[in-house]
């Protein structure tokens, strides 16, 4: 059975947990293991969501939905021509 993918809000929370644990003196690798992800996954998440707050995350989602809607509208118009 496949593992479920964490939601972006959960990813931001896990990234913050690692920051807190490393701030308390725990080595970064141990902190990453404690949140239950691989080192590669952590760095990929950090690249995409690093430094992002929940409000910024919601804005990102909204903009992605708007972008998708606009792309569909443009593709429909080009097909009509």
Please write the tens of the pLDDT for every residue from 5-45: 888 888 989 999 999 999 999 999 999 999 999 999 999 99
Give me 12's structure tokens. Answer: 């931001």
SS3 category, 4: coil
Length of the chain: 81
pLDDT tens column, 42-72: 999 999 888 777 788 888 889 999 999 999 9
Q: Is the pTM of this model over 0.75?
A: no
Strand (E) or helix (H) holding 51: none
% helix, strand, coil for the chain, step of 5: 75, 0, 25
């Amino acid at each position: 059975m496949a593992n479920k993918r964490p939601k972006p809000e959960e990813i931001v929370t896990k990234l913050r947990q690692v920051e807190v644990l490393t701030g308390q003196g725990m080595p970064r690798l141990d902190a990453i293991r404690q949140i239950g992800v691989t080192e590669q996954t952590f760095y990929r998440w950090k690249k995409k969501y690093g430094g992002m707050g929940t409000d910024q995350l919601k804005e990102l989602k909204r903009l992605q939905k708007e972008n998708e809607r606009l792309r569909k509208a443009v593709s429909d118009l080009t097909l009509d021509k």
